[in-house]
Amino acid sequence: MSVVGAQPFIKPMQSPPSVSPGIQRRHTLPASEVRPLNTQDAISVFEIEREAFISVSGECPLHLDEVRHFLTLCPELSMGWFEEGRLVAFIIGSLWDQDRLTTEALTLHKPCGSTVHIHILAVHRTFRQQGKGPILLWRYLQYLRCLPNVRRAVLMCEDFLIPFYRKSGFKVLGRCAITVANLTFTEMWYPISGHAYMRRNSEAIRFPQHPLTVPLTKTDERVDV
């Protein structure tokens, strides 16, 4: 489910200029970075989710305790975009072990599964219409290619979001068996195969065991939805 396209071109990161040992560096937050989420990010995640979904559908995909639940069980399947330390966009996923989504997929993480269920993709209202949704989704899908047991990603979305996900390479599976209140959804999937797109700054998508804080390039930020 999402509130937010061509695939973004990622400009190789340049090596930072060397600093003389006699010059003390200033410790400042990077202008932009992506990293896995953790339980300390849960409140920021939920605030963005609540604003994004309650105003549109009246329902949140995940409640605060469920956000904490997934960020505890499988933080490596989440990704957050931060601007000067502030969360502006995020994805939360978990593993699933069946061909199609069922109601259990909304709350369970199946460690032996080969399917990543993308629960949420959301962007803070101040940062929408800037291309952040497609860029973050592209980075996330590339990162999933680095996980050896993952074979595909699936999600459920309302019909008006189908074109958005199709632009990112997702295909329609059919109507989803899950309903929330009066809402119905379409289930979509994306094949995960081969290796992540190799580029000089490919470390931006490698953090399953040892999370990295990786700055985003200026080119990343200029791609529009």
CATH class of the domain whose range is 32-149: alpha beta
Q: What is the pTM of this model?
A: 0.75
* Catalytic (active site) residue 140: no
Strand-pairing partners, residue 189, are 154, 171
CB 72 within 8 A of CB 39: yes
* Catalytic (active site) residue 165: yes
Q: Where are the domains of the chain?
A: 32-149
d(CA 96, CA 77): 12
- Say which of 37, 119, 143, 155 is annotated catalytic: 119
* Catalytic (active site) residue 119: yes
- Say which of 37, 95, 101, 121 is annotated catalytic: 121
HSE of 174 in the Cβ direction (CA atoms, 13 Å)? 4
Instruction: Note down pLDDT in tens along the chain; length 225 residues.
Output: 655 433 333 333 344 455 454 444 445 556 889 999 999 999 999 999 988 876 555 677 889 999 999 999 999 999 999 999 999 999 999 999 999 999 999 999 999 999 999 999 999 999 988 999 999 999 999 999 999 999 999 999 999 999 999 999 999 999 999 998 888 999 999 999 865 554 334 444 444 443 334 455 444 443 333
The SS3 assignment for 114 reads coil
- Say which of 94, 101, 117, 168 is annotated catalytic: 94
d(CA 10, CA 31): 17
